[in-house]
Chain A
Amino acid sequence: MNGNIYHNRKAQWAIYLAAFAALALLPIFFDSPFTLNLLARYCVFALLAVSVSLVWGYAGILSLGQAIAFGLAAYGMAMTMQMQYQDPVSDPIPSFMLTNELKTLPLVWAPFWSTPIGLILTFGVPTVFFIGFGILMFQARVAGVFVAIMTLAMTAAWYSMAYDMQPFTAGFNGISPPLPFQIFGTEVDPYSAGAYWVCVAFLAVLTLGAKFLMQTKFGLIVQAIRDDAERARFLGYNVAYYQVVVFALSGFLAASAGFCWVLIVQYVSPTSLEIVFSISIVIWAAVGGRTSLLGAIIGAFLVNGMQSFVGDELQQVWMLILGAIFIGVVLFLPRGLAGFFELVLGLFSGRREPQKSDWSTRRTSAVTKESAE
């Protein structure tokens, strides 16, 4: 079947697997701890961009609230790591609480004594919140711009919470657990290849899982809802259900990113819940191509890579450049770099993809056939 190789599924999977293999092999070429940590951060950002691509590119829901899941999970992980450091007998209360005149450990923190429970909460709380929030929004058939505004407001609300509840969250100073994460008796060094591979593993497994899901019937319905929710509704699908599930999945992806983030950075602060951060994630996905998960990954790597290498002198101008890139992408390249790539591959594939739908092409040729006879 002649057609754009971009749409060939086998080719797509091959590229995805090759990309992740390449990512996994990077430590062979870059073994400085600083570079590995930097690359691991990029992987975290890439995972966030994938979560946006999933919920926006595939489900058509512009969520400006990925930072909520990211931040909640990051705080959960930081709390887990902090309590790993604290000793129940000699040193039960984190130092920032003592400076805030908190004499006993708050109830919210108590479950984090146990690392497994802490991890469950880290991944679970954001996902459950997204399920609840999603049900609230999509049952009411809130769509499009209103979803964006509501997620924006929610992000602002959570940021205020984290910033203000100083005794519980250490406010704007943030929580910095003194020790790296301990699991199964070993310590995970944030600057090691091991931590990097954890991040790559999360990125690869979750991205490939999401891609697989989007190629199932469930994924097709989600994309149908993106294209026309009313039509999907008339066809009998429970649109709210699909939207909530995808929204919650994207929350889970963002939460995983939050987990990895604190694993490699060993610090969390309210900046992880900032609106600016949440919208930046959308920018990365938009630049790379929101309808393509790999595109989102590339977009995240590209934009953050540029940001790191632009240097101090240009740092001032960087935001200008980023804003201009973003406007340019929205105006001229709405499907991002992946869309551009698709266009270019289309030129090489010989026969063009039909511009009209199959139905109209067949009808037109049937009509011309009739009139010719």
Chain B
Amino acid sequence: MSVNDFWTPFSLLPFLNALIIGISLISIWLIAALGLTIIYGTMGVINMAHGEFIMLGAYSTYVLQTLIGIPFLLCLPLSFLILAAIGWVIERGVIRTLYRRPLDTLLATWGLSLILVQGVRLIFGGEPKYVGVPSWLNFQIEADFIHLSGLRLFIIVMAIVMVAVTWFLLYRTTLGICVRAVMQDKEMAASFGIDANRIYSLTFCYGAGLAGVAGSMFGALKTLFPDMGGGYIVEAFLVVVIGGVTLAGSVLSASLLGELNSIFSYFTNDTFARFILFTLVVVFLRIRPQGLLAEKMTRR
């Protein structure tokens, strides 16, 4: 077995196509990581069930679409609301008691993810389900070096929209000021009259809702099965951690990671690219543990 079997020779057009696919990958990872950035950034809560929130978003879209016949575009805000409600219940029940114990939240949310996966498996069965792509997205862009499906283009657009909306909420509204105050120092914010617990709940719900929207779109991209969440959680965490747990950081790190993954996949293959990428991540965290664009010097 020679090295050549691993290494695809370079040729321009397929490489450019790989770069474009990279942009699609960036958008997917960014959307998946957005909710986690908000939740971890504000509350320091490691939500290992985030992948399952995405999965629940996908399944709720499936239910809305097949059982009630709601059009795809409307499913997105509806899954936002559904997941926000689920997130509210979870925050009240489980997360609230674990704010000062980050490692324990990691473990408790992992237990939660087990319950969610098995619960969905019991309700819906383990066979793959499908979310239909709406007809107006059923096109392919076929140019010289671009082979992109309409859905992927939609996801790229949605990524930009969601980041813009989140940025607007955080930096242009009073609620955003409260959230950022709580992010910086919970006690001081509370002493200014901000109800920190309510902010925490709202933030968790918002993050969960974002995961729900992500899931609705990812469900259309690939098939639905109960443990599909697992495929997003590690990447989402890496995006958040490398980015330095800020919104801008997540955008930057998602761009870097997504594009690098695509480039490595082009030269070798998907799984080997993953291996190289994760090793690079570990090395990077050694050099710059606080991430790319961290706000504070202290690590949580």
Give residues in A with beta carbon < 8 Å to B.
62, 102, 106, 133, 136-137, 139-146, 148-150, 152-154, 156-158, 160-161, 163-165, 167, 275-276, 279, 282-283, 286, 316-317, 319-320, 322-327, 330-331, 334
Contact = CB atoms under 8 A, between A and B. Distances in A.
A74 to B, nearest CB: 18
Contacts of B165: none
Nearest to A320: B118
20 contacts: A106-B1, A139-B286, A142-B286, A144-B103, A145-B102, A149-B237, A150-B285, A152-B237, A153-B237, A154-B282, A156-B278, A164-B269, A165-B272, A276-B230, A317-B122, A319-B115, A320-B115, A323-B112, A323-B118, A326-B107
Contacts of B289: 140-142, 146
A320 B117 CA distance: 9
B145 interface: no
Contacts of B230: 275-276
Contacts of A320: 114-115, 118-119, 122
B39 to A, nearest CB: 13
B299 interface: yes
Nearest to A61: B103
Contacts of A133: 282
Interface in B243-259: none
Contacts of B46: 145, 148-149
B237 A319 contact: no
Nearest first, the 8 closest Cβ-Cβ pairs linking A and B are A323-B114, A326-B111, A164-B271, A157-B278, A323-B115, A319-B118, A160-B271, A327-B111
A62 B269 contact: no
Q: What's the dominant secondary structure at chain A's contact region? A: helix
Contact of A157 (B98, B118, B237, B275): B275
Given A154-B278, A164-B269, A327-B111, A62 B286 contact: no
B113 interface: yes
Interface of B: 1, 46, 94, 97-98, 101-104, 106-108, 110-115, 117-119, 121-122, 230, 234, 237-238, 241, 269-272, 274-275, 277-279, 281-283, 285-287, 289, 299-300
A232 to B, nearest CB: 18
A218 B222 CA distance: 52
Nearest to A319: B118
Nearest to A282: B107
Contacts of B287: 140
Contacts of A330: 98, 104, 107-108, 111
B285 to A, nearest CB: 6
B297 to A, nearest CB: 12
Given A149-B238, A327-B94, A330-B111, A319 B104 contact: no
**Residue in A322, A324, A325, A331 with the greatest tally of chain B CB atoms within 10 Å:** A331
A289 B111 CA distance: 16
A275 B106 CA distance: 14
A91 to B, nearest CB: 19
Given A62-B103, A146-B241, A156-B278, A275 B234 contact: yes
B107 to A, nearest CB: 5
A62 B107 CA distance: 10
Contacts of A146: 241, 285, 289, 299
B286 A322 contact: no
A136 B108 contact: no
Given A145-B106, A326-B108, A331-B97, A153 B121 contact: no
Contacts of B300: 144-145
A139 B121 CA distance: 43
A157 B110 CA distance: 20
Contacts of A152: 234, 237
Given A140-B285, A323-B111, 13 more contacts: A136-B282, A139-B286, A144-B300, A146-B285, A146-B299, A154-B278, A157-B274, A276-B230, A283-B107, A283-B111, A316-B122, A319-B114, A320-B114
A84 to B, nearest CB: 23
B286 A324 contact: no
Contacts of A150: 281-282, 285
A153 B238 contact: yes
Contacts of B94: 327, 331
A157 B289 CA distance: 19
A161 B115 CA distance: 29
Given A139-B286, A164-B272, A153 B102 contact: no
Contacts of A143: 299
Given A144-B300, A150-B285, A316-B122, A156 B114 contact: no
A156 B119 contact: no
A137 B286 contact: yes
Contacts of A279: 110
B1 A156 contact: no
B111 to A, nearest CB: 3
A365 to B, nearest CB: 31
B299 to A, nearest CB: 7
Contacts of A157: 274-275, 277-279
**Residue in B111, B113, B234, B274 with the greatest tally of chain A CB atoms within 10 Å:** B111
B187 to A, nearest CB: 21
A285 to B, nearest CB: 10
B271 A161 contact: yes
A153 B281 contact: yes
B97 A142 contact: no
Contacts of A282: 107
A149 B275 contact: no
Contacts of A325: 111
B286 A136 contact: yes
A276 to B, nearest CB: 8
B274 A323 contact: no
Contacts of B118: 316-317, 319-320, 323
Contact of A142 (B234, B270, B285): B285
Contacts of A153: 234, 237-238, 278, 281-282
Contacts of B279: 154, 157
**Residue in A319, A324, A327 with the greatest tally of chain B CB atoms within 10 Å:** A327
